[in-house]
A = this chain, B = another copy of it.
Amino acid sequence: MTSQDAPPLVFQVFNEIGIIEQLSRTVLEAHMPKGLIAPHFGVLNHLVRVGDGSTPMAMARAFQVPKTSMTHTVSGLVKHELVEMRPNPEDGRSKQVWLTDAGRALRARIISDMSPQFERLARDFDISKLQHILPVLTELRIYLDESRDRV
């Protein structure tokens, strides 16, 4: 019975990460309008930060989700008129996703709505600890990402 009493370190890390992901996603979604969830925000945020005109497949790869999932998420944003699809002039197979003004505005509003919570966390929590773990998380993410297809 020893093995199950002492879960390996890696296991524990992934476990905590899973719980944090769930809790933080819930917080995010509490600030989103009805009908939109975390993946929608992810796409809006991605388009603002990386730039408009990305293709659905490029975003599916960026988020590591199947292309059908990205099609579905983007179509939800189109329905809410937060992005619009345009043909890709460089490749007849693909499309480009462009933000609308409403899309930009919604993303900005969600972020500003959440800022009090971030600030409270920054007050209550030792931020330097987060600064220390961020590079490790990034390294771990890169490792997992690169080992993804080798498995």
Contact = CB atoms under 8 A, between A and B. Distances in A.
Interface class of chain A by DSSP: helix
B134 A136 contact: no
Interface string A4-23: 10011111111011111111
A34 interface: no
Interface of A: 3-4, 7-14, 16-27, 30, 42, 48-49, 63-65, 108, 111, 117-118, 120-122, 124-125, 127, 129-134, 136-141, 143-145, 147-148, 151
9 contacts: A7-B49, A10-B130, A13-B130, A16-B141, A17-B24, A21-B21, A121-B143, A129-B136, A130-B140
